[in-house]
């Protein structure tokens, strides 16, 4: 039995619109799951993706959908009209129970630091929120990590010195908001945190080790990313070199210096980061040891061990 055949069997029996998790739960109770030809690592996500694609395929006549969050699927001609009306009135998302993870958000900094150094050729610095003045503390103001790339690494001395004279040194600043996972349960709060605390930089990113594979979720994530210019990075704990930018960030041509000044006044880590960048820019010699330590991939993999494999399935 294939995934869509499983869905047909369940929906034909229940005769009502059902979300992918509801279909899967019903099939488990009935023992239909054992009849699947193949399950894969994330069968529920696969079922949801197949249903989502089928319902959005204009050539498809078997499956239709109703509602938004959650989206429920039904078979035309089998489902009663009153069932469709009731399903369409449900607007609250049904969130799957999220398993606990054994690592903290701060543990993910080493993976992002490695990616930032290798991908952006930038030097990262963790911003510890607790080091801000208590009266100024606000999680929606502080990024979790910042980074800077220097043109002096690649430019000829003459070009670099002339750019300094013209006041155009081409520094690039990056800002990152880090989460263990992204799902419907924390999407809007996490996303707008990133919007709020990345406005000062050339590029801002929302970063997570786990991202919900639900097609509806990724559609909403993509919409928010395009609307506000925040990129999305998926960390890979089993192989840091496979960390990828899932959604590209928009680029700002200027730094919002008022916000930079506000952050510097609030947080000594950010203030130290600015001082370090200034010193390195002036000396044309980057003191790499003054930024976050960059671990080798093997050390990162060892740090997360067996827990990494489950988070990247």
| Enclosing H/E stretch for 145 | strand 145-149
Largest CA distance in the chain: 76
The answer to whether residue 96 sits within a structural domain is no
| Co-location of 84 and 124 in the same domain | no
Nearest Cα neighbor of 194 from 246, 237, 241, 144 is 144
Examine the domain organization and report whether 128 and 45 are in the same domain: no
3-class secondary-structure state, position 101: coil
- 41 contacts 313 by C-beta, under 8 angstroms: yes
What mean pLDDT value characterizes the chain? 82
Q: 71: exposed, middle or buried (C-beta count within 10 Å: 0-12, 13-18, 19+)?
A: buried
Instruction: pLDDT tens for the chain, 313 residues: list them.
Output: 899 999 999 999 988 888 888 898 899 899 999 999 876 656 776 787 788 878 877 777 788 888 765 678 888 877 655 555 554 444 444 444 555 667 888 999 999 999 999 999 999 999 987 766 655 545 567 899 999 998 755 556 665 565 565 555 578 899 999 999 999 888 888 988 898 888 899 999 999 999 998 888 888 899 889 888 999 999 999 999 999 999 999 998 888 888 899 889 889 999 999 999 999 888 878 899 999 999 999 999 998 875 544 445 4
CA distance 55 to 51: 6
Tell me, what's the pLDDT at 241? 94
- How far apart are the C-alpha atoms of 193 and 177, rounded to whole Å? 7
Shared domain for 84 and 180, answered yes or no, is: no
Residue that finishes a domain, picked among 89, 123, 143: 89
- DSSP letter, residue 97: P
DSSP character at residue 16: S
298 and 180 both lie in a single domain: yes
Residue 166 lies inside a defined structural domain of this protein = yes
pLDDT given at position 180: 94
DSSP 37-92: S---S-HHHHHHHHHHHHHH-TT--S-EEE-SSS-EEE-TTTS-HHHHHHHHH--S
100 lies in some domain: no
Total domain count for the chain?
2
The residue segments making up the domain with residue 262 are 105-311
Q: H/E element holding 115?
A: helix 109-119
Burial group, residue 196, by CB count within 10 angstroms (0-12, 13-18, 19+): middle
pLDDT at 68: 61
DSSP state for residue 201 in the 8-state scheme: S
Supply the pLDDT for residue 69.
Answer: 58
Structure tokens at 232: 């999305």
Task: Say if residue 272 is in the same domain as residue 200.
Answer: yes
163 within domain boundaries: yes
Q: For residue range 275-297, list pLDDT tens digits in order.
A: 999 998 888 788 999 999 999 99
Cβ neighbours of residue 39 closer than 8 Å, sequence gap 6 or more? 33, 46
Q: How many C-beta atoms surround the C-beta of residue 66 within 10 A?
A: 19
Which residues are CB-contacts of 158 (< 8 A; sequence separation ≥ 6)? none
Closest CA to 139 of 211, 180, 185, 194: 194
Whether residue 193 is found in the same domain as residue 259 = yes
Asked if the structure places residue 98 within a domain, the reply is: no
Same domain, 123 and 251: yes
Residue 278 belongs to a domain: yes
| Global pTM value | 0.67
221: closest CA among 170, 177, 180, 183? Answer: 183
**Does 78 share its domain with 183?**
no
Q: Based on the domain organization, do 48 and 117 belong to the same domain?
A: no
What pLDDT, in 10s, does the model give residues 214-252?
888 888 899 889 888 999 999 999 999 999 999 999 998
């Amino acid at each position: 039995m294939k995934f869509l055949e499983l869905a047909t069997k369940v929906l034909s029996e229940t005769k009502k619109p059902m979300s992918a998790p509801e279909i899967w739960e019903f099939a488990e109770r009935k023992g239909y799951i054992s009849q699947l030809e193949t399950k894969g690592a994330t069968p529920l996500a696969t079922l949801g993706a197949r249903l989502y694609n089928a319902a959005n395929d204009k050539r498809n006549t078997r499956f239709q959908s109703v509602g938004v969050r959650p989206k429920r699927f039904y078979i035309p001609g089998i489902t009663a009209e009153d069932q469709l009306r009731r399903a369409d009135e449900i607007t609250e998302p049904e969130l799957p129970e999220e398993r606990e993870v054994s690592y903290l958000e701060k543990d993910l900094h080493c993976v992002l630091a490695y990616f930032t150094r290798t991908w952006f050729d930038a030097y990262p610095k963790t911003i510890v929120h607790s080091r801000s003045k208590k009266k100024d503390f606000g999680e929606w103001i502080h990024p979790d990590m910042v980074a800077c790339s220097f043109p002096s690494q690649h430019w000829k001395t003459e070009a670099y010195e002339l750019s300094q004279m013209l006041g155009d040194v081409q520094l690039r600043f990056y800002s990152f908001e880090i989460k263990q996972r992204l799902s419907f349960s924390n999407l809007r709060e996490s996303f707008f945190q990133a919007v709020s605390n990345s406005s000062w930089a050339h590029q801002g990113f929302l970063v997570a080790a786990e991202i919900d594979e639900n097609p509806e979720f990724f559609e909403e994530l993509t919409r928010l990313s395009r609307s506000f210019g925040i990129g999305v990075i998926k960390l890979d704990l089993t192989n840091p070199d496979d960390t990828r930018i899932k959604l590209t960030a928009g680029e700002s041509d200027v730094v919002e210096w008022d916000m930079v000044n506000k952050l510097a006044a609030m947080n000594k880590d950010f203030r130290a980061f600015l001082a370090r960048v200034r010193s390195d820019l002036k000396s044309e010699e980057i003191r790499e040891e003054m930024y976050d330590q960059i671990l080798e991939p093997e050390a990162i993999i060892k740090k997360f061990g067996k827990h990494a494999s489950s988070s990247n399935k």
